Chain A
Amino acid sequence: MDVLINNGWLLLRGASLTLWMSAASIGIAATLGLAFALVQVFAAWPLRALVEVYLFVMRGVPLLVLLFGMYYALPYAGMDIDPATGGILVISLYFAAFMSEVFRGAILAVPRVQWDAGRALGMHGSALMTNVVLPQAVRTAGPPFINTCIMIVKGTSLVSIIGLWDLTQIGRQIVERTLAPFSVFGGVALIYFFICFALSLVGRHLERRFGYVH
């Protein structure tokens, strides 16, 4: 316990990097994911095929391999990005593929008759999407969206391997100094748990707040 209190400041710094990377990645992944989903549902085949190839690749390659690629291989290609930016980018691009499926499924789950009702009122394109389809899709997307956010938070722990001082890496450093793996990793695990638990609670709250009146 002492070990956690003595290193509390360090752990907090690690947690803040983890939180910051998570938030940025969730934001970018969700935005890209929505864009990909819209392309999959609406775009003509060349663009759609391109996006689908991308999604297959991202879903088929481990996140760690992508991070190594960014960290070790890109510099050879003459691209030098700092690990934090690169980490956020790779995590975002990776999870955008999962977000895309979340949104695509949610858009397709909006009943056809709702689209018809909007069209019959003269809506099309963005008016139909923003007034009729997306508000209903968002409700379906809620639970799997939160689920993906939780995967992103935990996914950021992989950046510890490319030298970033996130929560996991800080934990490893403290263990090397103090030789107290149980309490240190226990504490690290607890912090991850609370971040994810908070996300679940936010999800529950939103579900109640924006659920239909039944």
Chain B
Amino acid sequence: MSIDPPAAGARPAIEIDGLSKWFGQHVVLDRVTTRIASGEAVVVIGPSGSGKTTLLRCINLLEEFQEGEIRINGAPIGYAVGPDGQRRRKPEREVAAMRAQLGMVFQSFNLFPHMSVLRNVCVAPIKIQGARRDEAEARAVELLDRVGLKDKVDAFPARLSGGQQQRVAIARALAMRPKAMLFDEATSALDPELVGEVLAVMHQLALDGMTMVVVTHEMQFAREVADRVVFMAEGRILEEGPPEALFEAPKSDRLQAFLKRTRAGYLP
């Protein structure tokens, strides 16, 4: 099912091999395999409950998974097989070090409410990467400028609109100089008129060559920005490929039905 990434020859930044996750009888992810090349923007679409968000959360181990392997730049994350053949979770310190290499943006922003915007952006570089305070702050201001919020450095999150909060959250993730960015329905909690400002920041990031995995319901964004679109349903990748191929010539019935529903909206 999987196809070669567009940047042929480039070392895949994120490799997902036979990833499975289940709760008891309920299978959430079913042998998901895909490659995300360095610099590639992959958009994951699919109906709710299809496992898109879970897949994303597995990549930085905010969710456990039972089978398969995920490698970031070649290094397996999360689990190691011991000499006894038992698969064990790696120590939290190693997991945290791996997470520091990936930026994540959440549906509900999740800024730290007790910190100013500036502190939100520079706290992790200072505390986790040991950056010097003045340097981290200067970089935070620069990143906030990039997302158009230079004038909000001293504001607290509660004072910001949803769109502004989400842009701060993107700056916060970028401050760690991540190897890849994971977006978990970053615009789903926003008022419609605030969606554009966040998508614009994400679009720019993709143009800058950031490796991105984007879970979204914004089909227009998927068309314009994605190097590759992945369609998931019931925990499986049913179809993946360039956006034109998926949107103009969907092969599977599920994707055809899904696209029909999302396009139709509530028009008669």
Contact = CB atoms under 8 A, between A and B. Distances in A.
Interface residues of A, number: 21
Contacts of A116: 62, 106, 110
Given A121-B172, A122-B176, A136-B113, 20 more contacts: A114-B112, A117-B110, A117-B111, A118-B112, A120-B60, A120-B104, A120-B106, A121-B173, A122-B96, A122-B101, A122-B128, A123-B124, A124-B92, A124-B93, A125-B93, A125-B96, A131-B127, A212-B113, A212-B114, A213-B159
B99 interface: yes
Main secondary structure of the interface of A (DSSP, over half): helix
Contact of A139 (B97, B100, B114, B123): B114
Interface of A: 113-114, 116-125, 127, 131-132, 135-136, 139, 212-214
Interface residues of B, number: 31
A127 B128 contact: yes
Contacts, number: 72
A125 B156 contact: no
B158 A117 contact: no
B118 interface: no
A213 B111 CA distance: 14
Closest A-B pairs by Cβ, 5 of them? A122-B100, A117-B110, A121-B124, A120-B104, A124-B96
17 contacts: A114-B112, A118-B112, A119-B99, A120-B60, A121-B99, A121-B173, A122-B96, A122-B128, A122-B129, A123-B124, A123-B127, A124-B95, A124-B96, A127-B127, A127-B128, A136-B112, A139-B114
A119 B97 CA distance: 10
Contact of A113 (B97, B99, B108): B108
A123 B158 CA distance: 23
Contact of A122 (B112, B113, B114, B124): B124
| Most chain A CB within a 10 A radius of its CB, from B110, B123, B173 | B110
A204 to B, nearest CB: 19
A213 B158 contact: yes
Nearest to B129: A122
A117 B99 CA distance: 11
A213 B128 contact: no
Interface of B: 60, 62, 92-93, 95-97, 99-104, 106, 108, 110-114, 123-124, 127-129, 156, 158-159, 172-173, 176
Contact of B96 (A114, A119, A132): A119
B158 A214 contact: yes
Contact of B156 (A114, A117, A213): A213
A17 to B, nearest CB: 38
Contacts of A214: 158
A122 B99 contact: yes
A131 B113 contact: no
B96 A123 contact: yes
Given A113-B106, A125-B92, A213-B156, A120 B114 contact: no
Contact of B176 (A113, A121, A213): A121
B252 to A, nearest CB: 32
B110 A114 contact: yes
B236 to A, nearest CB: 25
A173 B9 CA distance: 91
Contact of A131 (B96, B108, B123): B123
B152 to A, nearest CB: 13
Nearest to A210: B114
A136 to B, nearest CB: 6
B113 A121 contact: no
A112 to B, nearest CB: 10
B137 to A, nearest CB: 16
A173 to B, nearest CB: 49
A213 B112 CA distance: 12
Contacts of A119: 60, 62, 96, 99
